[in-house]
Amino acid sequence: MQFLWIVILVLIVLFLLHFFKRRSKEKRLKKNKTVTDLAVVNCLHQISLIKIENAELFPQKVFSMSQPVARFWGQDVNVFSYCFTLTAKKAVTAEKIQAELNRLLKIYEQQQQLTAEYYQQSLIVSDCWLENNQLNIDVAYVINQATANYLIDVRRAEKDH
């Protein structure tokens, strides 16, 4: 009988540890998402190659629509996906938009004193494409090795294709 109580107690402790560890990761992801969302809003207000619906650039709108991209890569990967409706664009490619966004993110990162410890930038566009007047971007907040590894894998896959 005593053995059964020990097993039950161990299971409860394991459950509580798992619960608090998961909760801590979710809080960290939410904080990292907020940093990334604010950077995206700031940079899209400054971009000159395209125009985006003003209503889509309100921080609350961006906070509610952005989503983590890389759940299957692990919970420590901080990459978030965004989709915006374009109201005007010049004859421009996704590559040019990505380059300008990365330039603006670099400036934002310096202004906010974000450190790039694991990759060349702490905020970087990992993917960008245009489809049916929609701008789709994935932005990584590289604050750990897991996110840096994700970017390295994405770059490697791009080279292979």
Residue-range domain boundaries for the chain: 28-160
pLDDT value at residue 161: 64
pLDDT value at residue 100: 93
pLDDT value at residue 91: 77
Cα gap 125→68, rounded to integer Å: 14
Min mean pLDDT across 22-31, 47-56, 111-120, 144-153 is at 47-56
Based on the number of CB atoms within 10 Å of its own CB, is 44 exposed (0-12), middle (13-18) or buried (19 or more)? buried
Residues 104-123 have a mean pLDDT of 89
Locate 66 and state its tokens: 């952005």
pTM: 0.81
Q: How confident is the model at residue 129 (pLDDT cuts 50, 70, 90)?
A: very high
Cα gap 149→71, rounded to integer Å: 14
Query: 33-81, pLDDT tens digit by residue?
Result: 999 999 999 998 888 777 777 777 787 888 888 888 866 666 688 999 9
DSSP alpha helix (H) spans, the chain: 2-46, 59-65, 94-111, 145-160
Give the residue carrying structure tokens 């970087």: 124
Quick check: 43 and 36 in contact, CB under 8 A?
Answer: no
pLDDT value at residue 138: 95
pLDDT value at residue 56: 77
Cα gap 144→64, rounded to integer Å: 24
- If you count them, how many residues does the chain have? 161
| Residue in 67, 63, 39, 75 with CA at minimum distance from that of residue 147 | 75
59 CB-near residues (< 8 Å, 6+ apart): 37, 38, 41
